[in-house]
Chain A
Amino acid sequence: MSRRTNLFVLALLSATPAGAHPEIQDALDRLTTALATTPNEASLYLERGELYARHEDWPSAEANYLRAAELAPRLPRLALARGSLSLARGQVSAARAFLDQAIALAPSDPTALILRARALARLGLTPDALTDYTQAFALLATPSPELYLERAALFASPADALRSLADAFVRLGPVMSLQLRALDLEVALRRFDDALARVDLLTSASERRELWLKRRGDILVSAGRHAEARAAYVAAQTAIAALPAWLVASPDTVRLSTELTRLATTTP
């Protein structure tokens, strides 16, 4: 018996994925019943494989994908599903090959492009990965912040990483996770005025200004601008004083206030 056949038989015999839930079992039963009447329906194997993959039952997923591939090698979504599975299992070269196929079949599929970008990045093919990310971003109405962070992480140069985030702010607005990444990059690049401008923006939009004013002070210390840093720490204390009494009394705020007092007096 071939390895493929072994896998398939094994998958068929495993009635339930580990930790299965009645709804998953219902869905599996539905597909298995349908396959009993139409055993050569590749899309049902694909669907069942996707169900297993969603629950990280990789061998069962693979067995179903293999059967689907035997029946209909060019089945839409199959190469994508196999690429996704291979990537999840750490089989990066195989993932790349499947995703190449998926993209050849559907060049404008942003999901396939993102998955291939991840595979390429793990293979060390950074320029190709960046190309895929950029192409996917062009296809998406609203790329998620985590995709922008993934792409930014691929750049060796902080300046390039920072530039890559600019598009995100235009399209998504002042997203906090991206603002914080950009702030770190600006400080790493010693672009202190740009970093301070970003902090000022965050301060103006925040109800808890004291946290950002402290960050402003910290950046100014890094820049060697100590007098301005002290002023920022004092401004943070003033912002704390303006909070409702119950928030001023909260342990976190008390700790911050103590720290600000120390910084305001010890910063040279």
Chain B
Amino acid sequence: MPPYHHLRYIVAVTIALSAIFSLPAATAIIRGPYLQSATPTSMVVRWRTDNTEPSIVRYGLTRTELTTTVKAEGITTEHFVHLGNLKPNTRYYYTMGAEPVAKPAAVGTKKAGGTPAAAEAEDGPGRAPTSSFVTPPESGFSQPTRVWVLGDPGTKGDTQRAVRDQYYKFTDKRATDLWLLLGDNAYPDGTDTDYQKAIFEMYPETLRTVPVWSCLGNHDGKSANSITQSGVYYNAFTFPTRGEAGGVASGTEAYYSFDYANTHFIALDSHDSDRSLGGAMMTWLKADLAATKRDWIVAFFHHPTYTKGTHDSDKDSDSAGRMNDMRQNFLPVLEAGGVDLILTGHSHVYERSFLLDGHYGKSTTFNAATMVKQKGEVRADGVVVYRKPRARTAHFGDINVVTGSAGHAGSKTKPPALNHPAFYISLNEAGSSVLDIDGLNLTLTFLNDKGEQRDRFAIIKE
């Protein structure tokens, strides 16, 4: 090697070393980033660092031009940055921190459904790579929407991972637009450590590319309090309280609503808020239902209206009567408001009803002749089809889905009864549900932990 080549080598190494040692002591991102409270023109980006630092997000329309910087006040380990003035239905690239950062070492890479996975960096601790998200379309605008629905996922075990991976395989390059957690997100107690393992380390790439919405489950409720809006669940999530994502201002993250395209989503707190007829949640719900102009209304909450799975909605003592309250008090109001689909968890099974209306009692009072509005027609592709008029019609019928097995199913040796007459199908299988909405067609698929599509139904509005 000629002498000047040695010199060039030494200079290069010196420059590289000085660059490394001149970097400020980097904090590591130990949670997130994750996306919250998505609206057509805004997004909340949250993350946690191991040491305090300023909360800074740089973003832009291309991966290489993160031209806009937003900095929240103060320094913290719990970062919350609100990005405003965004364009609807637009992909934005973003990263955290003021300076470009090196790509971290790959740890446990999982491909998130439908995200530009090849372009995203690997999951793992350390500094954040550049990620991206797509803002929701303008409210009322109809476009194909995919929603991943996970009930009771947070067991942290192999079943939760299998359910996750089968969804990623199923959706492949099809983008996930939003995902719903139906409560009991982190077993056993909904503590910060439980959340870290069951949610933040389980779905890192989905969290940083797809906005997540949730309702409170009983296990989350062990470390959270809806009345004081405090505790781990409320600290971890940011949901709209002032109607900023569509719908009516609830004043609380315990129950809220939002729009995505032509669908109105309503999250209720079946665990810890007042479930009485004259309560604040009920008053809000009635006003919220009356106010929406979206084609579809999807309600989600933790405790099912009907189940004969790992819980029994006929037992008054089961879950301290919460299932009764949701069935007797809230279901009539939801049905009067024209709700199309009700998603719940709590019972670790999959149960899906006929198109129903008016069943507010125990299973012994179920009258198929008057309460089953449609049994459903089985199409050639196996999809069970129900039809509703587009004109919103009170008590035309809704489908109740218990999909509470994203973390585990009921016992195989002592299987649940699964004999509630309101259900078209009942399965003691782990899995998650995939909701696709395209214009006036809504399809839900139950995908088990083996990747089998075990139930598919559609509601078509005409």
Chain A contact residues, CB within 8 Å of chain B: 17-19, 21-23, 26-27, 54-56, 110-111, 114, 140-147, 149, 168, 172-178, 180-181, 205-208, 211, 243-244, 246-247, 249-252
Please indicate the chain B residues that have their CB under 8 angstroms from the CB of A181 in the complex: 283
Docked-complex contact A23 and B318, CB < 8 angstroms: no
A-B contact count (CB 8 A): 140
A173 to B242 Cα, complex, angstroms: 6
A–B pairs, 25, beta carbons within 8 Å = A19-B315, A23-B187, A56-B320, A114-B227, A141-B230, A142-B229, A143-B229, A144-B227, A144-B252, A145-B280, A146-B279, A172-B242, A174-B249, A175-B250, A176-B249, A176-B250, A176-B288, A177-B250, A177-B284, A207-B291, A211-B290, A247-B392, A250-B392, A252-B338, A252-B393
CB of B100 within 8 Å of the partner chain: no
Docked-complex contact B249 and A173, CB < 8 angstroms: yes
A140 CB contact (under 8 Å) in B219, B229, B279, B391? B229
Closest CB-CB distance, A129 to chain B, in whole Å?
15
Please indicate the chain A residues that have their CB under 8 angstroms from the CB of B320 in the complex: 54-56
Closest CB-CB distance, A88 to chain B, in whole Å?
10
Q: Check A147/B310 contact, CB under 8 A, given A142-B252, A175-B251.
A: no
Q: Check A244/B293 contact, CB under 8 A, given A147-B227, A250-B392, A251-B393.
A: yes
Please indicate the chain A residues that have their CB under 8 angstroms from the CB of B225 in the complex: 111
Docked-complex contact B391 and A246, CB < 8 angstroms: yes
Closest CB-CB distance, A27 to chain B, in whole Å?
6
Please indicate the chain A residues that have their CB under 8 angstroms from the CB of B10 in the complex: none
The 8 A CB mask of B135-169 against A (1 = contact, 0 = none) is: 00000000000000000000000000000000000
Q: Check A22/B392 contact, CB under 8 A, given A111-B228, A142-B252, A207-B293.
A: no
The 9 residue pairs across chains A and B that have the minimum distance between CB atoms: A175-B251, A19-B318, A18-B317, A172-B251, A177-B280, A249-B391, A177-B283, A19-B317, A146-B280
A189 to B219 Cα, complex, angstroms: 44
Closest CB-CB distance, B174 to chain A, in whole Å?
28
A56 to B317 Cα, complex, angstroms: 8
CB of B292 within 8 Å of the partner chain: yes
A27 to B292 Cα, complex, angstroms: 42
Within 8 A of A (CB), among B226-246: 226-230, 241-243
CB of B89 within 8 Å of the partner chain: no
Docked-complex contact A246 and B390, CB < 8 angstroms: yes
A144 to B241 Cα, complex, angstroms: 11
A172 to B229 Cα, complex, angstroms: 12
CB of B41 within 8 Å of the partner chain: no
CB of B367 within 8 Å of the partner chain: no
Closest CB-CB distance, A50 to chain B, in whole Å?
9
Docked-complex contact B287 and A18, CB < 8 angstroms: no
CB-nearest residue of chain B relative to A169? Answer: B251
Please indicate the chain B residues that have their CB under 8 angstroms from the CB of A249 in the complex: 391
A180 to B242 Cα, complex, angstroms: 15
Number of chain B residues close to chain A: CB under 8 A: 50
Please indicate the chain B residues that have their CB under 8 angstroms from the CB of A141 in the complex: 229-230
A27 to B222 Cα, complex, angstroms: 12
A186 to B235 Cα, complex, angstroms: 36
A207 to B288 Cα, complex, angstroms: 11
B250 CB contact (under 8 Å) in A19, A114, A145? A145
Seed contacts A19-B317, A246-B295; 8 additional CB < 8 Å A-B pairs: A55-B320, A140-B230, A143-B228, A175-B241, A176-B288, A211-B291, A251-B394, A252-B394
A27 to B219 Cα, complex, angstroms: 11
Closest CB-CB distance, A117 to chain B, in whole Å?
11
A99 to B188 Cα, complex, angstroms: 28
A96 to B227 Cα, complex, angstroms: 19
CB of B411 within 8 Å of the partner chain: yes
Docked-complex contact B248 and A146, CB < 8 angstroms: no
Q: Check A174/B242 contact, CB under 8 A, given A22-B310, A143-B228.
A: yes
Closest CB-CB distance, A260 to chain B, in whole Å?
15
Closest CB-CB distance, B381 to chain A, in whole Å?
27
Q: Check A146/B227 contact, CB under 8 A, given A208-B291, A211-B291, A246-B390.
A: yes
Which residue, A114, A143, A175, has most C-beta atoms of chain B within 10 A? A175
Q: Check A144/B280 contact, CB under 8 A, given A22-B411, A174-B242, A251-B391.
A: yes
Docked-complex contact B310 and A21, CB < 8 angstroms: yes
Please indicate the chain B residues that have their CB under 8 angstroms from the CB of A250 in the complex: 338, 391-393
B287 CB contact (under 8 Å) in A26, A146, A176? A176
Closest CB-CB distance, A95 to chain B, in whole Å?
16
Please indicate the chain B residues that have their CB under 8 angstroms from the CB of A246 in the complex: 295, 390-392
Q: Check A144/B394 contact, CB under 8 A, given A110-B228, A247-B293.
A: no
A142 to B229 Cα, complex, angstroms: 7
CB of B171 within 8 Å of the partner chain: no
Please indicate the chain B residues that have their CB under 8 angstroms from the CB of A172 in the complex: 241-242, 249, 251-252
Docked-complex contact A178 and B411, CB < 8 angstroms: no
A69 to B187 Cα, complex, angstroms: 29
Please indicate the chain B residues that have their CB under 8 angstroms from the CB of A178 in the complex: 251, 280
CB-nearest residue of chain A relative to B295? Answer: A246
CB-nearest residue of chain B relative to A208? Answer: B291
Docked-complex contact B394 and A145, CB < 8 angstroms: no
Closest CB-CB distance, B411 to chain A, in whole Å?
7
CB of B311 within 8 Å of the partner chain: yes
CB of B273 within 8 Å of the partner chain: yes
Please indicate the chain B residues that have their CB under 8 angstroms from the CB of A168 in the complex: 251
Docked-complex contact A23 and B219, CB < 8 angstroms: yes
The 8 A CB mask of B277-299 against A (1 = contact, 0 = none) is: 00111011001101111010000
A208 to B273 Cα, complex, angstroms: 27
A206 to B292 Cα, complex, angstroms: 9
CB-nearest residue of chain B relative to A179? Answer: B249
Docked-complex contact A146 and B274, CB < 8 angstroms: yes
CB-nearest residue of chain A relative to B226? Answer: A144
CB-nearest residue of chain A relative to B271? Answer: A54
Closest CB-CB distance, B14 to chain A, in whole Å?
52
A143 to B243 Cα, complex, angstroms: 17
Q: Check A144/B319 contact, CB under 8 A, given A172-B241, A176-B283.
A: no
Please indicate the chain A residues that have their CB under 8 angstroms from the CB of B392 in the complex: 246-247, 250, 252
Please indicate the chain A residues that have their CB under 8 angstroms from the CB of B249 in the complex: 172-176
Closest CB-CB distance, A108 to chain B, in whole Å?
12
Please indicate the chain A residues that have their CB under 8 angstroms from the CB of B226 in the complex: 144
